[in-house]
Amino acid sequence: MQIGFIGLGAMGSAIARNLVDSGHTLQVFNRSAGPAEPLRRAGARIAASAMQAARGADVVFTMVADDAAVNAVTFGEAGLLAGLKPGALHISMSTISVAAARDLAARHRDAGVGLVCATVFGRPDVAAARKLYIMAAGADGDLKLAVPLLEQLGQSVGIVGADPSQANLVKLIGNFMLSVVIETLGEACAVAGRAGLDPMHLVELLTGTIFNSLPYKTYGALIASQRFQPAGFQLKLGQKDNRLMLATAEALGVPLPLASLVRDRFLAARSHGAGDGHDWSAIALCALADAGLDRRV
Amino acid sequence: MQIGFIGLGAMGSAIARNLVDSGHTLQVFNRSAGPAEPLRRAGARIAASAMQAARGADVVFTMVADDAAVNAVTFGEAGLLAGLKPGALHISMSTISVAAARDLAARHRDAGVGLVCATVFGRPDVAAARKLYIMAAGADGDLKLAVPLLEQLGQSVGIVGADPSQANLVKLIGNFMLSVVIETLGEACAVAGRAGLDPMHLVELLTGTIFNSLPYKTYGALIASQRFQPAGFQLKLGQKDNRLMLATAEALGVPLPLASLVRDRFLAARSHGAGDGHDWSAIALCALADAGLDRRV
Amino acid sequence: MQIGFIGLGAMGSAIARNLVDSGHTLQVFNRSAGPAEPLRRAGARIAASAMQAARGADVVFTMVADDAAVNAVTFGEAGLLAGLKPGALHISMSTISVAAARDLAARHRDAGVGLVCATVFGRPDVAAARKLYIMAAGADGDLKLAVPLLEQLGQSVGIVGADPSQANLVKLIGNFMLSVVIETLGEACAVAGRAGLDPMHLVELLTGTIFNSLPYKTYGALIASQRFQPAGFQLKLGQKDNRLMLATAEALGVPLPLASLVRDRFLAARSHGAGDGHDWSAIALCALADAGLDRRV
Amino acid sequence: MQIGFIGLGAMGSAIARNLVDSGHTLQVFNRSAGPAEPLRRAGARIAASAMQAARGADVVFTMVADDAAVNAVTFGEAGLLAGLKPGALHISMSTISVAAARDLAARHRDAGVGLVCATVFGRPDVAAARKLYIMAAGADGDLKLAVPLLEQLGQSVGIVGADPSQANLVKLIGNFMLSVVIETLGEACAVAGRAGLDPMHLVELLTGTIFNSLPYKTYGALIASQRFQPAGFQLKLGQKDNRLMLATAEALGVPLPLASLVRDRFLAARSHGAGDGHDWSAIALCALADAGLDRRV
């Protein structure tokens, strides 16, 4: 299939590479040139703009940083909508706000172009291994085209519904729930630490039994050892998603005391030694510091 | 082995029955007579007091409601310590406070009797199926005797350490973490509900992927359907454990904002329709009510 | 003095009227025509735009709803900056964000026009009685012109400092503190109510003694009687200010758990019967509802 | 009048001295001998027990540390109830739990002795100056005897009601509200500090105007200057009262998110440098530390 791919960060590069390896013809575009080079060597063509990456494509993927970035590569003279042929499909994989996704959907409808939002859970190495969990939402006809492609990129594709923005909602809720797992583990390790029980041993006991799942294992180990670098998912990105979740919930009229608590943790974490580039699990430093157990990171 | 068993609630009865079925000789005691009858028919002897249940036993188990109950069956003229022979072992399975467990340990040491605290995760049907997760703590010599017995009762026995009270700490931390899972799911379902995304569908999408573990599945289904009866674990018991966790953390000098939030939820849940006998996941009613989505239970 | 006055809501009208009564020559502008009529009868001239209201003026006041409104009347072809003569002064009285005030200051500097931010505590009747508490900030030279004018409008003028935006900061902090007073009284009345102590009696006992100040008296009486209409200060405006405070603190790296709690209360209050037009003290309904004591408003 | 006075801490000594100076005949008792000596020199008789202090008295006052202490001096062979004549009156001024006060009331009724709970707001120097705010509750007949005496000790005597325990409730609510004032000022000073506005200047601006009352002035100055020693009211006593408030509200079924937040602050304050003996306003260190502004105390 003829595919455009826009946004070659760590996630985008891994996904684009898998599309090339699956035999698709790719035109890729990235704001800076460097990340496109390995894909060129693997057989992709390099486009000079989002518009050119979209030209002639059956499907164009975007995987960029935030609301502003997705708007920048979609709209305007050099945007993908200017390049896409009628009836083509845009698959938006970025973690963006529900409001931005809604706006995206409306403007694609006006332009006669399909839109599927397909958000992902998993880090770059997971993406490379085609093990992502993907949440897809869009009109039936659009999903019919998107799902077989997405199935080449992850271990499962969940169909959220017909409204593309709800894939973004599920992503934000998922990250919200992960942030609470982190805070929970921080508080649990603080109690253990003060009680003379090795936090790592606590984590092993619980994640070997009742909390036998990846989030608790991954973050439990990081927090018990206070090892917040290198980042798997950067604190500043986690903070951005927390902000999106709070804004989305506010627009819906839903108070979220847990997200509010985590919001304050993101801010306080800076005062306890964490920075933008630490792993977002560093917000657990707050619970540890309040118990007198933090080691400056 | 000659075993005393004290406390025949739903959990105690299931465990005692498994011990009988494994070929041990049991003397059982319960404050009220009724629950002992099925065990008598299965071959256990009924004792008239905790002291008599302990008499001649190599090991005596207790599985009772709270600090007061464990003290009542352990100490005094009719208590198990008065019946146990020197060198025998007491295995305390109740969910009690860390402070009570420490006191227990000190007084057993004085009495020359071993103590292992062995707390469990799992409900009565899980206990009956010998699928409990067990957390055991005690002196090496005592564990040598206890662990093979405990392995007959659950699917795993984690060794917490040499201080018996730490098995209680791990239990309280585990229940604390479960209570946060419940609150998280309540808030997540509130957002979904207001966004027009079926909460049950949200739960399925997330627990089929990144939150693929029993607590999220179990409580997610209950909360999405606002089905809080019959209780798997009663609200009043969850509230008791929350209280124990807060008291334990306070004694250790550890603030627990998540447990404080859950504490307030236990209280507010009553105003939103829940009672002592609802499942403890009914605290999710608070998040739903604050979003205007609660159905009176 | 020749004065322009832009923004004739309840507050603006009261202040503008006092300026006329003090003998100043006023040109007034309001987006809609109605509110200007009483001022015209009192002797003010009606301008067709903010620009015209500013033309020839020594000082132009603005008292409008929010960031967007202050920008709309300040910038552009019909904005006050296009009308003001060099060396004239803009006194901004609106409750706006610190970021917006900073931007305002920079652009006035560029335009060679002075800016004083002068925020006020007090409701329209207080403004009419010239009893406002005013917080003013700006360069020394600008304050020299502004303060004597402001002293005609309130009972005190506090000098915050040289950076105009800090007057907005003090206003936001003051409203934040008031919002916490409201929540505090809500929780206090909930305890009293459930204990069989008349909340109004509690409020009288405390505000007659240790909490002998206007905020506790005013809001205590409203909350104890659950009388949230008519609004002295609308819930939607209080919510706006809470949002501004959280955003300002976030930009400064300061977590504000109390403001986060109040944020959630603003959202939950809607589910417990309050609307945009209730007095903002209606957020106390949340504490009352969680205690089972709310009367639907 | 013949008066017994039990409990000669800083508060008790100041009050007892005022009673002597007003011409009453006092028999005083304190657990340790030292504090009684100045009163002896002022004309009081020293009793060897609470019982002896109460013997022959028309009224006996108690002003001791907590629930346990008030029970210790009231009941038993050497307790005041053993010494009081029928129809005499006990005025309990200690800050104790509502539950303890209820128990006290019931047992005084059984003993045919009157009980008035009369709690006070104010520090020792305020007590010495007869400027206390007093909250009194009890049966009409008992109040008739108590109030004229109490009016000699403070600047006002508020009548809470007929149930003595409600005077304790009002005291706990008052201290709860003060603790929230402290937290509010901590957060406000954190924002100001990070914004480059001198926290002391902020406090002066606000307490000179809209927050023109003693609690904001007193604590504002302490927090802005991070001056938490010497203690006006010790952190450990504030923490005790917070615990009593939470327990009382829990028994009434009332969630108190503000008190829960303050509870966590009392614990975290220790990790940020405060100890039992600091002024309780040191809990503001938490907000300051989370903003990176704390100076170790």
In the DSSP assignment, the letter for residue A283 is: G
Residue C205: its chain D contacts at CB < 8 A?
135, 158, 160, 170
Write the single-letter amino acid at D88. Answer: A
Phi, psi (deg, nearest 5) at residue B226: 50, 45
What subunits touch chain D, counting only 3 or more CB pairs under 8 A?
Answer: A, B, C
In the DSSP assignment, the letter for residue A296 is: P
pLDDT band for A182, please (50, 70, 90 cuts). Answer: very high
Q: Following CA atoms B38, B42, B44, B49 in sequence, which dihedral angle do they give, to the nearest 10 degrees?
A: 0
For residues D177 and D148, membership in a common domain is answered with no
Residue D253: its chain B contacts at CB < 8 A?
267, 270-271
Please check whether residue B241 is in contact with residue B95, taking contact to mean a CB–CB distance below 8 angstroms: yes
* pLDDT > 70? residue C13: yes
Could you tell me the CA-to-CA distances from D74 to B213, D145, D285 in Å, in that order? 56, 20, 39
Q: Which of D130, D163, D196 is the last residue of a domain?
A: D163
For residues D151 and D50, membership in a common domain is answered with yes
CB contact under 8 A, B209 and A160: no
Q: What is the CATH number of the domain that holds C226?
A: 1.10.1040.10
In the DSSP assignment, the letter for residue B278 is: S
Domain total of chain B? 2
pLDDT band for D295, please (50, 70, 90 cuts). Answer: confident
Please give the share of chain A, as a percent, with pLDDT higher than 70: 99
For residues D126 and D215, membership in a common domain is answered with no
Please check whether residue D74 is in contact with residue D43, taking contact to mean a CB–CB distance below 8 angstroms: no
Q: What is the pLDDT of residues A199-221, one digit of tens each?
A: 999 999 999 999 999 999 999 99
Long-range contacts of B126-131 (CB under 8 A, 24+ apart): B127/B11, B127/B14, B127/B15, B127/B18, B127/B153, B128/B14, B128/B17, B128/B18, B130/B18, B130/B154, B130/B155, B131/B155
pLDDT band for B293, please (50, 70, 90 cuts). Answer: very high
The two structure tokens encoding residue C151: 């002293």
* pLDDT > 60? residue B85: yes
Nearest residue in D to B271, CA atom: D253
D139 in a structural domain: yes
CB contact under 8 A, B210 and A133: yes
* pLDDT > 70? residue B120: yes
Q: What is the pLDDT of residues C265-275, one digit of tens each?
A: 999 999 999 99
pLDDT at C32: 92
Please give the share of chain B, as a percent, with pLDDT higher than 70: 99
Sheet-wide strand order for B114-121: B45-46, B25-29, B2-6, B59-62, B89-92, B114-121, B132-137, B154-161
The one catalytic residue in A144, A171, A236, A240 is A171
The C-alpha R_g of chain C, in whole angstroms, comes to 20
Q: What is the pLDDT of residues B151-183, one digit of tens each?
A: 999 999 999 999 999 999 999 999 999 999 999
* pLDDT > 70? residue D145: yes
pLDDT at A162: 97
Residue range D54-75: average pLDDT?
Answer: 97
Phi, psi (deg, nearest 5) at residue A30: -140, 145
CB contact under 8 A, B263 and D260: yes
pLDDT band for D244, please (50, 70, 90 cuts). Answer: very high
Q: Give how far A244 is from chain C: nearest CA, Å.
A: 13
Please give the share of chain A, as a percent, with pLDDT higher than 90: 98
Please check whether residue D216 is in contact with residue D206, taking contact to mean a CB–CB distance below 8 angstroms: yes
Best CA proximity match to B286, nearest among D67, A258, A194, A53? A258
Residue B202 CB partners (closer than 8 Å, separation 6+): A170, A173, B188, B189, B192, B224
Q: Is D240 tagged catalytic?
A: no
C296 in a structural domain: no
Q: Could you list the residue range(s) of the whole structural domain that residue D70 is in?
A: 2-163
Phi-psi region of A231 (alpha: psi -120 to 50; beta: other; left: phi over 0): beta
pLDDT at A125: 94
Please report the ipTM that was assigned to this predicted complex. Answer: 0.96
Residue B173: its chain A contacts at CB < 8 A?
188, 191-192, 202, 206
Q: Which of C163, C205, C249 has the CB atom closest to D160's CB atom?
A: C205
Q: Give how far C267 is from chain A: nearest CA, Å.
A: 5
C136 in a structural domain: yes
pLDDT band for A251, please (50, 70, 90 cuts). Answer: very high
For residues C136 and C156, membership in a common domain is answered with yes
In the 3-class helix/strand/coil scheme, how is C245-292 assigned residue by residue? HHHHHHHHCCCCHHHHHHHHHHHHHHHCCCCCCCEHHHHHHHHHHHCC
* Alpha carbons D263 and D257: distance in angstroms, whole number: 10
C24-62 residues labelled b (16+ CB within 10 A) or e (exposed): bbbbbbbeeeebbeebeeeebebbebbbbbbbebbbbbb
pLDDT at D296: 61
Best CA proximity match to A80, nearest among A169, A3, A8, A4? A4
Mean pLDDT of chain D: 97
Q: What pairs with residue D118 in β-bridges?
A: D136
For residues B175 and B249, membership in a common domain is answered with yes
What does DSSP say about strands A114-121 and A132-137: parallel, antiparallel, or unpaired?
antiparallel
pLDDT band for C296, please (50, 70, 90 cuts). Answer: low
Helix ranges, A155-282 (H): 165-195, 199-207, 214-224, 235-252, 257-271
What does DSSP say about strands D2-6 and C154-161: parallel, antiparallel, or unpaired?
unpaired
Q: Give how far B266 is from chain C: nearest CA, Å.
A: 10
Q: What pairs with residue D89 in β-bridges?
A: D59, D114
Residue range D193-199: average pLDDT?
Answer: 98
Q: Which of D145, D163, D181 is the last residue of a domain?
A: D163
Q: What is the pLDDT of residues B261-272, one digit of tens each?
A: 999 999 999 999
For residues A68 and A185, membership in a common domain is answered with no
Q: Which of C117, C144, C163 is the last residue of a domain?
A: C163
CB contact under 8 A, C270 and A253: yes
Best CA proximity match to D262, nearest among D278, D233, D238, D279? D238
Q: What is the CATH number of the domain that holds A75?
A: 3.40.50.720
Residue range C122-147: average pLDDT?
Answer: 97
Q: With both helix axes pointing from N to C terminus, report the angle between B67-74 and B98-111 in degrees, rounded to the nearest 10.
A: 10
> What is the three-class DSSP state of C2?
strand
* Alpha carbons A2 and C8: distance in angstroms, whole number: 60
The two structure tokens encoding residue A31: 């704001």
Nearest residue in C to A256, CA atom: C264
pLDDT band for B117, please (50, 70, 90 cuts). Answer: very high
> What is the three-class DSSP state of C156?
strand
Q: How far is C-alpha D54 from the geometric centre of its chain's CA atoms?
A: 22
* Alpha carbons D31 and A17: distance in angstroms, whole number: 81
pLDDT at C297: 57
Residue C256: its chain A contacts at CB < 8 A?
264
Q: Is C99 exposed, middle or buried (0-12, 13-18, 19+ CB in 10 A)?
A: middle
Q: Give how far A289 is from chain C: nearest CA, Å.
A: 15
Q: Is C88 exposed, middle or buried (0-12, 13-18, 19+ CB in 10 A)?
A: buried
* pLDDT > 60? residue D297: no
For residues D156 and D44, membership in a common domain is answered with yes
Nearest residue in B to D270, CA atom: B253
C297 in a structural domain: no
Q: What pairs with residue B159 in β-bridges?
A: B136
* pLDDT > 90? residue D104: yes
Residue D169 CB partners (closer than 8 Å, separation 6+): C191, C192, C195, C197, D98, D160, D248
Residue B255: its chain D contacts at CB < 8 A?
263-265, 267-268
Please check whether residue B146 is in contact with residue B74, taking contact to mean a CB–CB distance below 8 angstroms: no
A196 in a structural domain: yes
B295 in a structural domain: no
For residues B66 and B115, membership in a common domain is answered with yes
CB contact under 8 A, A290 and D291: no
For residues B159 and B174, membership in a common domain is answered with no
CB contact under 8 A, B250 and D271: no
For residues A158 and A182, membership in a common domain is answered with no
* Alpha carbons B4 and B51: distance in angstroms, whole number: 9
For residues D145 and D232, membership in a common domain is answered with no
Optimal mutation site among C263, C266, C285, interface A, most CBs of chain A within 10 A: C263
For residues A119 and A221, membership in a common domain is answered with no
* pLDDT > 80? residue A296: no
* pLDDT > 60? residue A297: no
Residue C267 CB partners (closer than 8 Å, separation 6+): A249, A250, A253, A254, A255, B290, B291
B297 in a structural domain: no
Q: What is the pLDDT of residues C192-207, one digit of tens each?
A: 999 999 999 999 999 9
* Alpha carbons B259 and B238: distance in angstroms, whole number: 12
D35 in a structural domain: yes
